Structure formats: structure tokens, C-alpha cells
Amino acid sequence: MTGSRSPHTVQTRTVQARTVRSGAQSRRAFSPKSLYLVAAVAAALTVATAVAAPRFADAERFAPPTAAQIGIAGAHAKQWDALRQEAIALRRVGREDLRDGMQEFRTLLDQSSPDLRAFSNESQRRVDAHMAEARALRDRQLDLYESLTPAEQAKVRAAMAERLDRFAQLRERLIGMWEARG
């Protein structure tokens, strides 16, 4: 995770280990060091799913549609396409930062006494910064949507529904692949 890049997205979760013995559940406590390790791995997997999973080799495959594809013209079209490019760039930076962060984390794990807390805190700071950028972009997108005519808004909603359906299909295929392995 280089300092010259925009912040990346990583989410942390509290993790508890549970073991099942003869139908009853008992809790097994992690050491603080193990807990940070598990939290960092969970965060990396969460980010990989949220940011990188559907992108594969075709960078434009799941990008928002262009103004021309939706049927928006004029000044709104220029604004739409500029926001679209910003969204693509934000995702690209997020994927790059995720990759760099995973490499940094892997290097950290090779150390005899890594500072997992510092890594976790820095990762969370970067997540927060990236999420702030994403929220600001979303607010600009909503401002543009609200400035569109009702007919243009209907076109945008139809494009969003189509895109959501494609993501649902991809999700189902991925789940099917994982279940087939299981």
C-alpha cells in the first residue's frame, strides 16, 4: 500500500472462534495476535469480494454505462461520462491498493514479530478515506440524477436495473462454482 495511491477499501470484522462438541457450542478464545491475523485476512477477503471480484480481464465489462448507451445527451451527458470515468478510476485504485495491501500483509506475516495492530489501524484509516471518496462520488452521482428530466431518470433506472441483474447472475454463477467445490 503505497503512500502515493488513493486509500483502498478494507473492512474489519470481529471474529470469534466456535467449536462444536457433541451438539453443544463452546467458545475458544484467540490470542490477540491471532485475532489481528484473522481480522486482517477477513478484511482482505471482504475487500476482494467487494472491489475486485467481478472485474476479471475486461475492465469495462461491469463499468457503468456511458451516457450514449443510456440515451442521455447535452451537458448531462458530459457530466455522466465524467462521473463514470471517476467511478472506474476509483475502482481501479481500490483494486491496486488491495493487491498492494495483500502483498504488504504477506510480507508482514513473514516477520518474526509483526505489528499487526499497526497494520490493522493503517488499513482501517485507508478504508475510511476510500469510503469517504466513494460516498462523495455517490453524492455527485445522485445530484446529477436529480437534475435529469423524468424521462432521463427512467433511462438511468432501467440501466441500473439491468446492471443489478447482471451482478445477480454473476453472483449466482460464483455461488454455484463454490458449492460445486464444496
pLDDT, one tens digit per residue, over 8-23 is: 333 333 333 333 333 4
How crowded is residue 30: how many other Cβ atoms within 10 Å of its Cβ?
A: 14
- pLDDT at 163 > cutoff 70: yes
**169: in domain:** yes
**4: in domain:** no
Sign of the CA dihedral with 52 first, then 9, 122, and 119 last: negative
**5: in domain:** no
Residue span of the structural domain in which 27 resides: 17-181
Say how many domains are in the chain. 1
**76: in domain:** yes
133-154 pLDDT tens trace: 999 999 999 999 999 999 999 9
Residue 21's DSSP bridge partners are 24
**6: in domain:** no
**116: in domain:** yes
**92: in domain:** yes
pTM: 0.62
**11: in domain:** no
Q: At what angle do helices 74-109 and 116-147 cross, to 10 degrees?
A: 170
